[in-house]
Amino acid sequence: MKRLLLVLVLVVALMGLLAAPSSAFLASRQHTAYITSYLDPGQWAQWNGPKDPLGLTTHPTGPHDPLARIPHSWNVVVTREWFDSRLGATLIPAEYFNTVRIARTHGGWAFAIKKAARGVRYWSRAYKFGYEAAGFVPAGTWARDWWVPLGKLAPGHYSGWVTQFAPLAFVSWMDWGDETANPPIPASIRPLDQPIVNQPADLNWTQHISFTVK
């Protein structure tokens, strides 16, 4: 049954790729607040613009940041990212799933994707991540983003969670190396015959998120 489910999800993923929303790093937009996997609750990120296509400025919730609250005229996007070889990025929607729930604290608005199969269509297409020179990822890296546009939200406080989980072990070819080693081991893309086996217990996690719209 699990095998049948994965086959079904893979078919759905392949059918829906062309209609999937644009990805965060592939098509970032100004006047958009990004809630990504790299942020703590209360934080959001803003794209730096075309002169810095990979740059995101993080805005914490606090009195010292003029953008501690998201302007209500901005779009809000929840996004997760996956970096891998081309094959790994292509296969990931059938292997690693996402669900989400976000609601306005005082009611009146809520959004949820509770079933993994319904979240598959929010994956972007796989794209070549062409910023090796910045040292962020190694040459040969491909990426995919799980992009959920919430649109423009009314003023208020919002909170919820995003869950990422793998029902079964799966392989990938992205090796993040070890910066603490002596000497440091740089990140790399492994050969196809030397994959990494990802265990569900190492990848399954829930991130609590919150943000305020002014």
> pLDDT per residue over 87-108, tens digit each?
999 999 999 999 999 999 988 8
- pLDDT tens digits along 51-87: 776 677 888 766 566 667 899 999 999 999 899 999 9
Q: Tokens standing for 4?
A: 């049948």
To the nearest whole percent, how much of the chain has pLDDT over 90?
A: 53
Structural domain of 209: 2-213
CA 67 – CA 75 distance, rounded (Å) = 14
d(CA 64, CA 60): 9
| Token pair 């081991």 in the structure block, residue | 185
Strand residue runs (E) in 129-179: 142-152, 156-165, 170-172, 174-175
* Separation of alpha carbons 3 and 167, rounded Å: 10
User: How much is the pLDDT for 65?
Assistant: 65
Question: Which two structure tokens, joined as six digits, stand for 133?
Answer: 């020179």
Q: Is the pLDDT at 190 greater than 50, yes or no?
A: yes
Structure tokens at 111: 């959004």
Strand partners, 81: 145
Cα(46)–Cα(31) distance, integer angstroms: 8
Closest Cα to residue 171, out of 139, 123, 203?
Answer: 203
Residues 135/170, Cβ–Cβ less than 8 Å: no
**How many domains does the structure of the chain reveal?**
1
- Residue 97: how many CB atoms within 10 A of its CB? 22
Dist. CA 132–CA 144, nearest whole Å: 16
Is the pLDDT at 122 greater than 60, yes or no?
yes
Alpha-carbon gap, residue 43 to 78, rounded angstroms: 12
From the list 91, 32, 28, the residue with the least C-alpha distance to 59 is 32
Q: Which of 196, 212, 80, 67 is nearest to 146 (CA)?
A: 80
